[in-house]
Amino acid sequence: MAKKRYVLTDEDKKIIGDMLDENDGAIRFSHKQLKLAGYDYGYGSVQKVAKERLEEENLQAKVVALQARTRTLQSRLTYTRKLYGESLRISEDLMGAIETIPAPKLSIPKLSKTSQTITPICSPIADWHIGEVIDEGEMEGFNKYNYEIAKRRVEFLAQKVMKWVKTERNGHNIDEIHIPIMGDMITGSIHDELITFAEFPITESVVRSSKLISWYISQISTLFKKVTVHALKVDNHSRFTKKKGSKRRGTNSWNHIIAELIKEQLKYHDNIELIFHESQKAEIDIAGQIILADHGDGTTAFMGLPWYGFAREDGREAVKRMREGKRFDDRMRAHWHTAAAGPFGILCGCLCGSTELDAQAGRHSDPYQVSFLVHPKYGWFNFCRWNLKHA
Task: Tell me: do 70 and 149 sit in the same domain.
Answer: no
Answer for the pair 106, 271: CB distance below 8 angstroms, yes or no.
yes
Task: Tell me: do 92 and 229 sit in the same domain.
Answer: no
DSSP 7: S
Closest CA to 23 of 1, 53, 3, 2: 53
Answer for the pair 342, 336: CB distance below 8 angstroms, yes or no.
no
Residue 101 counted as domain residue = no
Answer for the pair 212, 131: CB distance below 8 angstroms, yes or no.
no
Q: What is the pLDDT of residue 270?
A: 94
Q: Inter-axis angle of helices 43-96 and 202-221, to 10 degrees?
A: 40
Task: Tell me: do 12 and 145 sit in the same domain.
Answer: no
| Residue 330 β-bridge partners | 291
Residue 208 counted as domain residue = yes
Q: What is the rounded distance in angstroms from the CA atom of residue 308 to the CA atom of residue 54? A: 67
Residue 121 counted as domain residue = yes
Q: What percent of the chain has pLDDT over 70?
A: 96
Q: What is the pLDDT of residue 110?
A: 66
Answer for the pair 369, 185: CB distance below 8 angstroms, yes or no.
no
Strand blocks (E) in the chain? 121-122, 176-181, 226-232, 272-277, 282-286, 289-294, 330-333, 339-342, 345-348, 368-375, 379-387
Residue 310 counted as domain residue = yes
Q: Which of 56-65, 144-153, 165-174, 177-186 has the lowest mean pLDDT?
A: 56-65
DSSP 85: H
Q: What is the pLDDT of residue 26?
A: 76
Q: How many domains does the chain have?
A: 2
DSSP letters for 318-369 = HHHHHHTT---SEEEE-SSS-EEEETTEEEE-BSS---HHHHHHT-----EE
Answer for the pair 167, 233: CB distance below 8 angstroms, yes or no.
no
Q: Which of 82-96, 134-148, 347-361 has the lowest mean pLDDT?
A: 82-96
pLDDT winner (highest mean) among 6-20, 43-57, 281-295: 281-295
Residue 10 counted as domain residue = yes
Distances (CA, A) of 381 to 26, 85, 275: 89, 51, 24
Task: Tell me: do 246 and 216 sit in the same domain.
Answer: yes
pTM of the entire structure? Answer: 0.76
CB-based burial label for 69 (10 Å; 0-12, 13-18, 19+): exposed
Pick the residue with more confidence: 210 or 301? 210
Task: Tell me: do 117 and 21 sit in the same domain.
Answer: no
Answer for the pair 45, 39: CB distance below 8 angstroms, yes or no.
no
CA angle 170, 157, 350 (to 5 degrees): 125
CATH number of the domain enclosing 148:
3.60.21
Distances (CA, A) of 143 to 136, 261, 359, 361: 6, 30, 10, 15
Task: Tell me: do 114 and 66 sit in the same domain.
Answer: no
Task: Tell me: do 182 and 222 sit in the same domain.
Answer: yes
Pairing between strand 330-333 and 289-294? parallel
Residue 165 has pLDDT above 90, yes or no: yes
Q: What is the pLDDT of residue 383?
A: 97
Pick the residue with more confidence: 164 or 67? 164
What is the pLDDT of the chain when averaged over all its residues? 88
Answer with the one of 75, 96, 117 that is the final residue of a domain. 96
Q: How confident is the model at residue 243 (pLDDT cuts 50, 70, 90)?
A: confident
The residues, any chain, with a CB within 8 Å of residue 279's CB and separated by 6 or more, are: 234, 250
CA angle 149, 152, 157 (to 5 degrees): 125
Task: Tell me: do 275 and 340 sit in the same domain.
Answer: yes
Task: Tell me: do 180 and 268 sit in the same domain.
Answer: yes
Range of the domain at 59: 1-96
Pick the residue with more confidence: 172 or 4? 172
Answer with the one of 96, 120, 146 that is the final residue of a domain. 96
Strand blocks (E) in 211-288? 226-232, 272-277, 282-286
CA dihedral 391, 99, 225, 351 (to 10 degrees): 30
Q: Which of 45-59, 207-221, 344-358 has the lowest mean pLDDT?
A: 45-59
Q: What is the rounded distance in angstroms from the CA atom of residue 201 to the CA atom of residue 204? A: 5
43-90 pLDDT tens trace: 777 777 777 777 777 778 778 888 888 888 888 888 777 777 777 777
Half-sphere exposure of 204 (CA within 13 A, CB side): 8
Q: How confident is the model at residue 1 (pLDDT cuts 50, 70, 90)?
A: very low
Residue 102 counted as domain residue = no
Q: Give the mean model confidence (pLDDT) for residues 99-118.
A: 78
Q: What is the pLDDT of residue 4?
A: 54
Residue 104 counted as domain residue = no
Q: How confident is the model at residue 132 (pLDDT cuts 50, 70, 90)?
A: very high
Distance between terminal CA atoms of the chain?
108
Residue 32 counted as domain residue = yes
Task: Tell me: do 210 and 315 sit in the same domain.
Answer: yes
Answer for the pair 389, 366: CB distance below 8 angstroms, yes or no.
yes
Task: Tell me: do 81 and 186 sit in the same domain.
Answer: no
Q: How confident is the model at residue 273 (pLDDT cuts 50, 70, 90)?
A: very high
Q: What is the rounded distance in angstroms from the CA atom of residue 209 to the CA atom of residue 231? A: 13
Task: Tell me: do 120 and 228 sit in the same domain.
Answer: yes
85-94 pLDDT tens trace: 777 777 777 7
